[in-house]
């Protein structure tokens, strides 16, 4: 019977597990969103870690018996840090590290670590319908979420990816911008889905929140202030929401265009929770339509936090 790979990811937002088979297909995945109190804009690391510890047993109990994990599990891969850098660290990943190492020891199978960012890249490739060998490396990959807003120059290696920052936010992350405006409007954290639904109600779509791009780097803090000022002046919330989405799309499009020209890349991969937003996706596609780039958007479930990338990276070490 073919072997299986188990992926584990414990991020700032979600506790996730996934299982991939020897054919490189994700056969099971599930995540539990961390719970944030109404009006709050996130969790302390200790609070998030505690929720991961509670969530992981629940997720493992949900794995279907017909996968026969006890007989078929051959490797476990877990996220141990935010980025593939030696000094990258965040306490929430200790939950996944401990769980992954324990499973590896009990089963007598390899257990290895990659970064949360590499997990995002691999899951986004899978969700885009592409295979890694169909892409032209190096490529550009966006990682836009509540905790990160980076454009990465990515090269593949056997057990993950080498990532160099080609552009990044100089203050707020895109996801933080969305969440702060959403919470201000009374939505629960994280507010991405709610704010996207609000933006879809915009009719005029004439509200302008200017982008602020410095070569391949960019700013979002001024955009939060601009959105707040517009709301305080009586501008319709749905119009402000749409203007905010358009600002993020224009910011990213400008930075990608320059980074692609600078590094001579053809492929651009979009990952991170913000990239699950269909308004932002459509605007980026329009902005970059004349740039002769191959744009690879992923299914929303593989843009947000998940563990599919880790499960796939695990299975790829077996080949």
What average pLDDT does the segment 33-43 reach? 91
CATH 3.40.50.2000 correct for 4-129+302-316: no
Q: What is the pLDDT of residue 138?
A: 98
Question: pLDDT, tens digit, for every residue of 186-238?
Answer: 999 999 999 999 999 999 999 999 999 999 999 999 999 999 999 999 999 99
Question: pLDDT, tens digit, for every residue of 61-72?
Answer: 999 999 999 999
Structure tokens at 304: 């947000």
Structure tokens at 143: 């990682």
Q: Is 296 helix (H, G, I), strand (E, B) or coil?
A: strand
- Report yes or no on whether pTM surpasses 0.85: yes
Structure tokens at 112: 């290895």
> Helix crossing, 221-232 with 174-184: angle to 10°?
20
Q: What is the pLDDT of residue 147?
A: 87
Question: pLDDT, tens digit, for every residue of 116-143?
Answer: 999 999 999 999 999 999 999 999 999 9
Query: Which fold, 167-297?
Result: Nucleotidyltransferase; domain 5 (3.30.420)
Within 10 angstroms of residue 171's Cβ, the number of other Cβ atoms is 15
Rounded to whole angstroms, how far apart are CA atoms 209 and 229?
A: 11
- Confidence at 84, pLDDT banded by 50, 70, 90: very high
Rounded to whole angstroms, how far apart are CA atoms 274 and 148?
A: 10
Q: Do domains 4-129+302-316 and 167-297 have the same CATH topology?
A: yes
Listed by start position, the domains of the chain span 4-129+302-316, 167-297
Asked if the model's pLDDT at residue 1 lies above 70, the reply is no
What are the residues whose beta carbons fall under 8 Å from the beta carbon of 132, sequence distance 6 or more? 122, 125, 156
Structure tokens at 266: 């053809």
Tell me the average pLDDT of the chain.
96
């Amino acid at each position: 019977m073919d072997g299986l790979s188990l992926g584990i990811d414990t991020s700032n937002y979600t506790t996730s597990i996934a299982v991939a088979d020897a054919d490189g297909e994700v056969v099971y995945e599930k995540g539990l969103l961390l719970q944030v109190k109404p009006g709050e804009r996130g969790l302390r690391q200790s609070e998030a870690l505690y929720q991961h510890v509670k969530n992981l047993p629940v997720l493992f109990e949900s794995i279907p018996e017909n996968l026969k994990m006890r007989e078929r599990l051959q490797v476990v891969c877990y996220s141990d840090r935010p980025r593939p850098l030696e000094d990258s660290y965040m306490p929430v990943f200790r939950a996944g590290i401990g769980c992954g190492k324990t499973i590896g020891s009990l089963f007598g199978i390899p257990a290895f670590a990659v970064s949360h960012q590499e997990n995002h890249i691999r899951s986004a490739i899978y969700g885009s319908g592409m295979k890694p060998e169909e892409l032209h490396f190096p490529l550009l990959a966006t990682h836009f979420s509540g905790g990160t807003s980076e454009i990465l120059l990515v090269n593949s290696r056997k057990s993950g990816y080498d990532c160099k920052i080609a552009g990044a936010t100089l203050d707020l992350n895109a996801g933080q911008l969305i969440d702060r405006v959403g919470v201000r409007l009374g939505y629960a954290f994280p507010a991405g889905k709610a704010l996207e639904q609000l933006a879809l109600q915009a009719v005029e779509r004439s509200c302008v929140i200017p982008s602020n791009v410095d070569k391949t780097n960019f700013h979002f803090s001024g955009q939060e202030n601009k959105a707040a000022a517009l709301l305080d002046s009586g501008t319709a919330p749905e119009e402000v929401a749409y203007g905010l989405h358009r600002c993020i799309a224009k910011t990213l499009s400008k930075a990608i265009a320059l980074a692609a020209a600078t590094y001579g890349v053809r492929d651009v991969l979009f990952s991170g929770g913000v990239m699950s937003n269909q308004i932002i996706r459509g605007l980026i596609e329009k902005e970059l339509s004349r740039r002769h780039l191959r744009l690879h958007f992923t299914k929303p479930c593989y843009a947000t936090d998940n563990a599919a990338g880790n499960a796939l990276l695990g299975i790829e070490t077996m080949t």
